[in-house]
Structure 1
Amino acid sequence: MASRTTFYLDKQNAKIKGVCAGIADYTGLDVTLVRVLTVILVFATMPWAAVGYAVFAWTAPAKPIDLYQDAGDAKFWQGVRSNTKRSAAEVRSKLRDVDRRLADMELHYTSRNSRLADEIDSLR
């Protein structure tokens, strides 16, 4: 079974070996931006970027065709891969917000609210 949090070469969108397309898929960046940055990096650090590119092209597995079910699934996994601590913090924040809102509702309905009691009685 393919892992959605693993780096894969993206052969479907490849220009040379699929390394830049794989990096773009993994990070959620635009593939053109990744390609431009790779070219700049190759010219800036001549042998090292080319060696790194070759190592990625040689060692990384190709992306399975059925890795993502739809585009939303791809965006979700790109967000999770980009920063797992941030993702966990966002979930905690959302759950705290829901918990606070539920506590406010509970306080509102369990408190002695004569106006609310009058409205309920008028509905009967």
Structure 2
Amino acid sequence: MSEFRNERKLYRNRKRGVVGGICAGLADYFDVDVVLVRIIAITCLFFTLQVAFIAYWVAYFVLNDDPKTLTNKSGHLKSKFRNSYQRKAVFSSVHDRFRKVETRIRTLEAYVTSPRFKLSDEIDSL
């Protein structure tokens, strides 16, 4: 029975996609022309504005990128950054932001667990 199982998976195809690659991914999955899927998506958008819009964005966040479109010809992962210096700068920036957030959370936790917070909570409840 497993020999009839379809091994295709639904992915976002960002290489052929316009907005998020959802229509291109659906076209690849169902093996139809991407223009047909886009026409159907735009038609659904006009008739069921909220439902089609929400479904598109849910699919954008739920579906993974097609693994075949994430690598270049040499087999390495594509990157937005041209060199390792840019990657290190972004990593350092993100690391600094997380350090600041951690410091703020520690300060908040110290205040919430302090006797002063308990006292002001008791006064407010009176």
Q: Which has the higher contact order (CA 8 A, sep 6+)?
A: 1
Higher share in helix: 1
